[in-house]
Amino acid sequence: AQSVTQPDIHITVSEGASLELRCNYSYGATPYLFWYVQSPGQGLQLLLKYFSGDTLVQGIKGFEAEFKRSQSSFNLRKPSVHWSDAAEYFCAVVGSNFGNEKLTFGTGTRLTIIP
């Protein structure tokens, strides 16, 4: 079964600074990977997804993520954060082999933006 780890529980960055949120996964083959964002009191919104092809994936709100097979990672990046990016971010993984695979979420990284 697959698993996903988000090593950073909480990250604080200044507005305008660059951002990188880490995500590491465990799966025997290439998985399908997702990043979601959750603002306080809201549901989860899909930022981007990776199924195959180009390992650099562009998403909404100016976010991108890079799939690195050799490092089993799918880190989320943004070149310049805005105060509205303050939220919790979840990485998720599901197996690519056809079968009874279920989406597995990391425990999240809370992002705080300081002026």
Residues found near other proteins in the complex (CB under 8 A): 32, 34, 36, 41-46, 49, 90, 94-96, 98, 100-103, 105-108
Task: Report the nearest approach of other proteins to the CB of residue 6 (Å).
Answer: 9
Our CB check for other proteins shows the closer of 36 and 67 to be 36
Task: Report the nearest approach of other proteins to the CB of residue 57 (Å).
Answer: 12
Our CB check for other proteins shows the closer of 86 and 94 to be 94
Our CB check for other proteins shows the closer of 47 and 113 to be 47
Angle made by CA atoms 11, 69, 86, in degrees to the nearest 5: 20
Task: Report the nearest approach of other proteins to the CB of residue 113 (Å).
Answer: 21
- Yes or no: say if 65 and 55 are a contact pair by the CB < 8 Å rule: no
To the nearest 10°, report the CA torsion of 111, 11, 82, 47: -50
For residue 33, give both structure tokens: 């990977």
Our CB check for other proteins shows the closer of 81 and 108 to be 108
Pairing of strands 64-68, 87-94: unpaired
N- to C-terminal Cα separation, the chain: 41
Task: Report the nearest approach of other proteins to the CB of residue 103 (Å).
Answer: 6
- Yes or no: say if 78 and 63 are a contact pair by the CB < 8 Å rule: yes
